[in-house]
Amino acid sequence: MSIVLVTGGAGFIGSNFVRRVLEATDDSVLVLDKLTYAGNPASLTGLPDDRFEFVRGDICDRELVDRLVARADTVVHFAAESHNDNSLRDPEPFITTNLYGTFALLEAVRKHDKRFHHISTDEVYGDLELDDPERFRETTSYQPSSPYSASKAGSDHLVRAWVRSFGVRATISNCSNNYGPRQHIEKFIPRQITNIIDGVRPKLYGQGRNVRDWIHVDDHNSAVLRILEAGEIGQTYLIGADGEHDNKTVIELLLRLMGQPADAYDHVNDRPGHDLRYAIDATKLRTELGWVPTYSDFASGLAATIDWYRANEAWWRPHKSAVEAKYATQGQ
């Protein structure tokens, strides 16, 4: 049995990862999370006391990070400022947390010689044309567009530099857009689900031709566990499940699944610099590590996600009005 330190474990993907580790392994989990607006303690209820510990703190706090890393066998680093729209309003926390916070963790795993896995995003590669036959691969050059994706790109470069210069035992994964339970309602899919529950028309940025490559959060996390088991130190693995859909199609599908007319949505102001298309080629992960996703049907994954938001209104309701008030100031 070993101890896994999970940064950002009260966030969307991190909290689902914590649950998966506790269910699928004998390991203990130590979460370090600052509980920003995006962290929700309600995502970590009902976990076994003898194998789970929560520490509220900042990944930029080097003394705290050093102490927690010393206790762990493996560090899985999810903590980040994660929302593009927020990074356009106020980039500073993205620079602090995503860059300096990753640096603080790297220095600690270097000192204590701990295995490190860095969670990153496909957005570091910029965007693709709609008709481009190429998809992102591990060899695609970095071309981030937003302050968020630039800060994640920088954090990936830090990890590679610490591997090469200091022999840190790290791997990186860059995943496409996740959906599933416990995703903050500022994000596209849960924002629209909770709008429809509230009788509010969903909001589509611009014409909605932008394509995202959707993957269920459990498939992302099964890939991360596989990389921890069998990934090669120093390597990057792209995670994706061939789930490309444009935003208009996703809104129409959500409306249909929730019993509404497919055209009952509003076009709102587009995101400045809005990336057109992301698409992942996960051949390396599939062939070298034998990973396969389990959610092959997007509509049924979405239906289960809708059920989760319907059944867990107490989880999201306290945040809804503040999220919508923020979007309203931007005509979104």
Q: Which residues are catalytic?
A: 122-123, 148
Q: Which of 214, 188, 196 is nearest to 332 (CA)?
A: 188
Question: Any contact of residue 59 with ligand NAD (CB under 6 A)?
Answer: yes
**Which residue type occupies 114?**
K
Q: Return the residue of 87, 97, 102, 171 that touches ligand NAD, per CB under 6 A.
A: 97
Interface with ligand NAD in residues 248-307 (CB under 6 A): none
What string marks each residue from 166 to 195 as x (binds ligand NAD by CB under 6 A) or -?
---------x-xx-----x-----------
Angle between helix 313-328 and 298-311 (nearest 10): 100
Positions in 161-190 near ligand TDX (CB under 6 A)? 177, 187-188
- What is the per-residue binding string for ligand NAD in 118-157, x denoting contact by CB under 6 A? -x-x------------------------------x-----
Q: Which residues, 6 or more positions from 150, have their beta carbon under 8 angstroms from its beta carbon?
A: 144
The item of ligand NAD, ligand TDX, none sharing an interface with residue 284, based on CB under 5 to 8 Å by kind, is none
Contact 30, 10 (CB under 8 A): no
Cα 181 from Cα 79, distance rounded (Å): 18
Return d(Cα 2, Cα 25) in angstroms, integer: 10
Radius of gyration of the chain (CA): 19
**By rule CB under 6 A, what string of x and - marks binding of each residue 191-220 to ligand TDX?**
x-----------xxx--x-x-x--------
Whether the CB-CB separation of 108 and 69 falls below 8 Å is answered with: yes
DSSP state of 280: B
Q: Is 64 in the site for ligand NAD (CB under 6 A)?
A: no
Binding site residues, ligand TDX, CB under 6 A = 82-84, 121, 123, 177, 187-188, 191, 203-205, 208, 210, 212, 247, 271
